[in-house]
Amino acid sequence: MTQPFLILETGQPVESMRRHRGFPHWIRVAAGLHPDEAVVVNVEAGETLPSRDGFAGTIVTGSGAMVTHRHDWSERSAAWLRDAAHAGMPLFGICYGHQLLAHALGGEVGDHPAGREMGTVDLDLHPAAGDDALFGPLPAQFAVQTTHLQTVLRAPEGATVLARSVHDACHAFRWGQSAWGVQFHPEFSATHMRGYVQARKVALQREGHCPKTIAGNVRATPQARRVLRRFVHHARGLAGR
């Protein structure tokens, strides 16, 4: 029997997008996982973190929370992720999950000095991504969906930074051989991204951005989804050894 993936739910989508269900559902669908191939634990709501045994890997969702707020549930999750990473469990952190994983492994997370990054943006891969299990087969530049205020200011010691955008120097990193963090949202469709731009319309205008332009530039990001699916494939390969 195929081992399921654990999805740690660290937050909810913006209210206007909850009619499309929550992050775990979006991630499961984007990853190509059937309902019985994923177990969701809502750590933000205080649900107990399980044993690592019996899971092919763990995916950590995004959140409206901030890692720097050091919520009890977040710090407990960070400790769990640190132990899981050192034990070699395949891990994949998305947005907040990316930042939480970096924090757990000794990196630095904080407000991005240039503020918000939002919409469909192009990533450039670093040369080190060439032999990465997830990013190696991808083109040197590809589009992703992103929305964040905080960022990984300093990657954990020993981590390899794999990708950057014009705005953000650490859009993806790998620690060891089986733990990845990505600042972008591989589970977001163009519909999800446009919904987020609309939900943040007032904040974007206040910050000097044009929501209409950002929404108009939203496009599909198939290579980003490919990263998530390659993680699932990679983790299953490790579990089958």
User: Among 44, 95, 98, 209, which one carries the catalytic annotation?
Assistant: 95
Is beta strand 141-148 parallel, antiparallel or unpaired with respect to 117-125? antiparallel
Helix axes of 23-31 and 222-239: crossing angle, nearest 10 degrees: 80
Q: Which residues, 6 or more positions from 95, have their beta carbon under 8 angstroms from its beta carbon?
A: 61, 62, 63, 146, 147, 148, 182, 183, 184, 185
Q: Is 25 a catalytic residue?
A: no
* Cα angle for residues 206, 184, 15 (degrees, 5° grid): 55
User: Among 98, 103, 148, 185, which one carries the catalytic annotation?
Assistant: 185
Q: Is 185 a catalytic residue?
A: yes
How close are the terminal C-alpha atoms of the chain, in Å?
14
User: Among 187, 192, 209, 234, which one carries the catalytic annotation?
Assistant: 187
Sign of CA dihedral 223, 228, 230, 233: negative
By annotation, the residues acting in catalysis are 95, 185, 187
